Amino acid sequence: MAKMTMVEALNLALRQEMEKDDSVVLLGQDIGLDGGVFRVTDHLVDQFGSDRVVDTPLAESAIVGMAVGMAIYGLKPVCEIQFSGFSYQNFHQLENHAARMRWRTRGRLTVPMVMRAPYGGGVRALEHHAESREVYWAHTPGLKMVIPSGPRNARALLVSAIRDPDPVIFYEAKALYRAFREEVPEEEESFPIGKANIARKGDDLTIISYGAMLRPTLEAAEELQTKEGIEAEVIDLLTISPLEDSTMVESVKKTGRAVVVHEAPRSFGPGAEIVTRLLEGAFYYLEAPIERVTGFDLIIPYFSREKSYIPSVQRIATAARRTLNN
């Protein structure tokens, strides 16, 4: 086991999958010699050549559209969109084709591709570089939407995403890229898409979170524990779509209280679906209204104000206390 940042862990996943399977090819802007603007594809071009680590023109639609063609052909393309804020320029390729090809052709043509994109705030970036709009993809039938929360699960999930027979949108929290290091085994490891993880055990309430928000959520849980002796169970969704609800429902059945945390804007956000699933599955176990701690219904502000927009440890802990006082 070696300690890795999320960037290094993702690089490991790509490298090992490419070593194993020559149908895995990467395409994106600046992913070759430059190694990607966040260095996720660093040195892969040295090992696999520019045939498999393809620097593309500035053309998001072409990147994803070509990947659709490549995937139909039988390759397993992994696209990098430099920032998720630019992926709207390829939205139609995913919505119109990637998501539909299997369904459209009744299973005859499939699109086993991955679109990787950094998302989320917290790194003092400029406009279009900080948003959290996973719900666009989560709301698109036919796509899978995955957001890891740390180096180890990022690697394991990316491996699964590459091997997945369907198109997977893989969001990587910029704020986590180098935030911390974790032991990541050199030997192969994957984590199934569509499974949530219990990141922390507890009996008093359930906090549901994912991606970059997992860390502040865990910190808040820690604070509740040390200050008030409250034991929060923290669920890390990992896959936003298809959303696995049994883990969170079972947890809420046990605790009776829930807080949902995400960086994305609140209205019609992932929390709306998560809360509904909890109501469907655990209504009679609830002892307090479910709280949502999310980004506000705004364009994420320029970074001088970003801290106030992104859910903080304090906001999460306060919401947790509110549910407990109810």
Residues forming the active site = 129
Q: Rounded CA gap, 295 and 307, in Å?
A: 10
47 binds another protein (CB under 8 A): no
Nearer to another protein, 141 or 289 (CB): 141
Nearer to another protein, 174 or 319 (CB): 174
Size of the site for another protein (CB under 8 A): 69
Q: Which of residues 93-132 bind another protein (CB under 8 A)?
A: 93, 96-97, 101-110, 122-126, 129
Nearer to another protein, 67 or 319 (CB): 67
- Give the angle 310-241-127 at the CA atoms, nearest 5°: 35
Q: Rounded CA gap, 115 and 53, in Å?
A: 14
Minimum distance of another protein from residue 254's CB (angstroms): 20
Nearer to another protein, 297 or 302 (CB): 302
178 binds another protein (CB under 8 A): yes
Q: Which of residues 256-315 bind another protein (CB under 8 A)?
A: none
232 binds another protein (CB under 8 A): no
* Closest among 106, 107, 126, 171 to 145, alpha carbons compared: 171
Candidate ranges 148-156, 160-168, 258-266, 288-296; the one touching another protein (CB under 8 A): 160-168
Query: Where are the alpha helices (H) located in 207-312, listed in sequence order?
Result: 214-228, 246-255, 270-282, 303-309
Nearer to another protein, 127 or 297 (CB): 127
Residue 255 phi, psi dihedral angles, 5° rounding: -95, -30
Query: Where are the alpha helices (H) located in 181-269, listed in sequence order?
Result: 214-228, 246-255
3-class secondary structure, 310: coil
Q: Count other C-beta atoms under 10 Å from residue 303's C-beta.
A: 17
With CB under 8 A as the contact rule, the residue among 116, 144, 292, 321 that binds another protein is 144
Q: Which residue has the tokens 């709306």?
A: 272
Q: Which of residues 71-90 bind another protein (CB under 8 A)?
A: 71-75, 77, 82-83
- For residue 46 the two structure tokens come to 């040295």
Minimum distance of another protein from residue 108's CB (angstroms): 5
Burial 107-119 (b: 16+ CB within 10 A, else e): eeeebbbbbbbbb
Q: Which of residues 26-45 bind another protein (CB under 8 A)?
A: 37-39
Q: Rounded CA gap, 294 and 315, in Å?
A: 9
Bridge-based pairing of strands 144-146 and 239-241 is antiparallel
The answer to whether the beta carbons of residues 183 and 296 sit under 8 Å apart is no
Nearer to another protein, 83 or 291 (CB): 83
Q: Return residues touching another protein (CB under 8 A).
A: 2-3, 5, 25, 37-39, 51-52, 54, 56-57, 59, 61-62, 65-75, 77, 82-83, 92-93, 96-97, 101-110, 122-126, 129, 141-142, 144, 164-166, 174-175, 177-181, 183, 194, 242-246
